[in-house]
Copies of this chain bind each other. A is one copy, B any other.
Amino acid sequence: LNEARTVEETVTMLRQRGTRITSARRVLLGALFDGPAHRTAEQLAAEVQKHATAVSLSTIYRNLDELERHGVVVHSHLGHRAATYDLAASAQGHLVCEACGAVIEVPNEVFRSLRYSLEADFGFAADPRHLAIAGRCADCQTPPPPAAPPDLMEV
């Protein structure tokens, strides 16, 4: 639900719900529908600046909040840094490498049976779009040397 496919569909839905459509808001939606997944508020702000007059970061945060409230975007906390935002319709689970910071997108089917048993055993409805699983990617399988770990580094 609330998973509109285009900017205009989303705009219509938001307006029906009483949200006003400002230019900044429309441009933010454009950036979300356009660009890559899991971007931070700051990255989205930078993207928005390219297409519109300066929009303050707090407005970006407020708009992302609003969009999340309406089910248009979801955010997740990958690693130790800023939250990242994705369109709800296209959000997937992610694997986050503790060593190199790489983020791997994973189709939601992979989590189907886990979700089933969490539901059955704990009555817990896992949100597949919010899944962020820490571990080590194929390139970083060797454990860190004792007492001298690799720094968490963004890629």
Chain A residues in the interface with B (C-beta under 8 A)? 2, 17-19, 69-71, 76-77, 80, 83, 95, 97-98, 104, 106, 110-111, 113-114, 117-118, 121-127, 130-138, 141, 144, 146-149
Contacts and interface: CB of A to CB of B under 8 A. Distances in A.
B135 A132 contact: no
B122 A138 contact: yes
B141 A135 contact: no
A135 B118 contact: yes
A70 B146 CA distance: 6
Contacts of A137: 122-124
A107 to B, nearest CB: 10
20 contacts: A17-B146, A69-B146, A69-B149, A70-B147, A71-B146, A76-B134, A77-B77, A80-B83, A95-B122, A104-B122, A104-B124, A106-B118, A110-B117, A111-B114, A118-B135, A122-B138, A124-B133, A124-B137, A126-B135, A130-B133
